[in-house]
């Protein structure tokens, strides 16, 4: 009886011990908890969880990498760079860490360092699609278009359904003047994502450059249906209306562009051109003056203003403005010869001299 009581007491003691002892949490579980916090935007809790994972396993490269990403997302770039370095010190083949460090360098304007990191990521993982995209974009920003094109070609070899890469490659073809290739890429991108306003807008620009105005207008219209506040779409659509003589629509689009982006001197200049063509010289001069307040040395706007001054009978203002054109315009501008001729004619016929 005594023995049985002793056994029961020991059993109850064991049960009591099991009930109060916390289960052991592994470094992987702390890491996974950190990822959950990070995905929810709770960066301090995420970092705390990664710290615990690293305390349990100081060679846990993934935990250092994830902690670096958390620091990066909360804006602590220096800590992020330290942790990316620790992750790569533990695992030199960690392609995602090279890529993420490259993204961080690129965001800080350190393009050479970013390109080096992307290169290392590709060395250890030659089929890593995302890093080709990132390096291609870095080359694009630096104006290294052929290299950018090569990287986007590689992306599409590895992932032919990548609509984003296809649209970006279309942008490179546009810059290089490969308009037909650009149209092919934009069209395929839209097949994959028919509600991408930016791609409609980009394809419209190419159609416009090819003077296929009906197609360009259709794409600008669709872009603005999807994204009504894209200011440049109004401006460029206004240029087509201006070019094709649809002056009311041009005025409406330039005005809408000015509402959305009042600092664009070109919109005032181009709206002024429409008013000039309609014989509304006072309105034209008002817009030219507004453009020149933003960009006082724009010789094209100065030339347009001088012409409008002449039409409005403001010969002295025209003469002085022509003189300003000559002060700012390169000698190889086609209308400089005309301006020189007009200045000489006005000096001779009107007896004008520059204001002192």
pLDDT tens digit sequence for 136-173: 999 999 999 999 999 999 999 999 999 999 999 999 99
For tokens 């290739």, what's the residue?
Answer: 181
321, pLDDT greater than 50: yes
**Domain, as residue range, for 342:** 297-356
Inside any domain, residue 328: yes
Average per-residue pLDDT for the chain: 92
Of 276, 291, 306, the residue that ends a domain is 291
Confidence bin at 355 (pLDDT 50/70/90): low
Are 303 and 318 in a shared domain?
yes
pLDDT per residue as tens digits for the range 171-204? 999 999 999 999 999 999 999 999 999 999 999 9
Are 354 and 302 in a shared domain?
yes
Dihedral (Cα; 153, 154, 160, 166), 10-degree rounding: -40
Confidence bin at 356 (pLDDT 50/70/90): very low
Of 291, 307, 330, the residue that ends a domain is 291
Are 326 and 273 in a shared domain?
no
What is the reported pLDDT for 168?
Answer: 96
Are 254 and 306 in a shared domain?
no
Report, as an integer, the average pLDDT of 199-211.
Answer: 98
Confidence bin at 331 (pLDDT 50/70/90): confident
Confidence bin at 24 (pLDDT 50/70/90): confident
* H helix runs in 145-246, sequence order: 145-158, 163-176, 179-192, 197-209, 213-226, 231-243
Inside any domain, residue 19: no
Inside any domain, residue 58: no
pLDDT per residue as tens digits for the range 30-53? 999 999 999 999 999 999 999 999
Of 291, 308, 328, the residue that ends a domain is 291
The percent of residues in the chain predicted with pLDDT above 90, rounded, is: 89
Return the higher-pLDDT residue of 11 and 139. 139
Are 286 and 301 in a shared domain?
no
Residue 235's CATH number = 1.25.40.10
Q: How many beta carbons lie within 10 A of that of residue 8, not counting itself?
A: 10
Inside any domain, residue 25: no
Inside any domain, residue 269: yes
Q: How many domains does the chain have?
A: 2
Inside any domain, residue 138: no
DSSP state of 332: T
Are 345 and 302 in a shared domain?
yes
Inside any domain, residue 109: no
Inside any domain, residue 279: yes
For tokens 């995602």, what's the residue?
Answer: 96
For tokens 């702390």, what's the residue?
Answer: 30
Are 301 and 285 in a shared domain?
no
Report the distance separating Cα 298 and Cα 232, nearest Å. Answer: 20
Contact 66, 38 (CB under 8 A): yes
Q: How many H helices and E strands in the chain?
A: 20, 0
Are 312 and 283 in a shared domain?
no
Are 241 and 263 in a shared domain?
yes
Are 258 and 240 in a shared domain?
yes
Are 286 and 305 in a shared domain?
no
Are 263 and 305 in a shared domain?
no
| Cα 261 off chain centre by | 17
């Amino acid at each position: 009886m005594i023995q049985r009581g002793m056994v029961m007491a020991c059993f109850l003691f064991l049960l009591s011990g099991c009930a109060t002892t916390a289960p052991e949490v592994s470094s992987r579980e702390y890491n996974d908890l950190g990822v959950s916090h990070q995905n929810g935007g709770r960066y301090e809790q995420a970092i705390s969880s990664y710290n615990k994972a690293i305390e349990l396993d100081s060679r846990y490269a993934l935990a250092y990498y994830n902690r670096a990403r958390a620091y990066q997302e909360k804006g602590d770039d220096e800590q992020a760079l330290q942790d990316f370095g620790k992750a790569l010190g533990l695992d030199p083949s960690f392609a995602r860490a090279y890529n993420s460090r490259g993204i961080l360098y690129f965001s800080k304007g350190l393009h050479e360092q970013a390109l080096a990191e992307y290169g290392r990521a590709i060395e250890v993982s030659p089929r890593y699609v995302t890093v080709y995209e990132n390096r291609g974009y870095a080359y694009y920003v630096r104006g290294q278009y052929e290299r950018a094109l090569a990287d986007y070609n590689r992306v599409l070899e590895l992932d032919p359904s990548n609509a984003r890469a296809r649209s970006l490659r279309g942008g490179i073809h546009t810059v290089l003047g490969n308009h037909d290739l650009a149209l092919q890429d934009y069209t395929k991108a839209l097949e994959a994502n028919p509600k991408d306003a930016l791609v409609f807008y980009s394809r419209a620009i190419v159609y416009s450059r090819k003077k296929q105005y009906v197609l360009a207008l259709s794409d600008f219209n669709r872009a603005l249906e999807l994204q009504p506040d894209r200011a440049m779409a109004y401006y460029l659509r206004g240029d087509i209306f201006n070019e094709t003589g649809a002056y009311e629509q041009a005025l409406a689009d330039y005005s809408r562009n000015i509402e959305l982006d009042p600092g664009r001197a070109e919109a005032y200049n181009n709206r002024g051109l429409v008013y000039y063509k309609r014989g509304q010289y006072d309105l034209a001069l008002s817009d030219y003056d507004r453009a020149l307040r933003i960009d006082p040395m724009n010789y094209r706007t100065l030339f347009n203003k001088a012409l409008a001054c002449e039409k409005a009978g403001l010969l002295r203002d025209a003469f002085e403005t022509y003189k300003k054109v000559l002060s700012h315009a390169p000698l190889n501008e086609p209308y400089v010869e005309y301006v020189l001729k007009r200045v000489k004619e006005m000096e001779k016929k009107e007896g004008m001299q520059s204001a002192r």
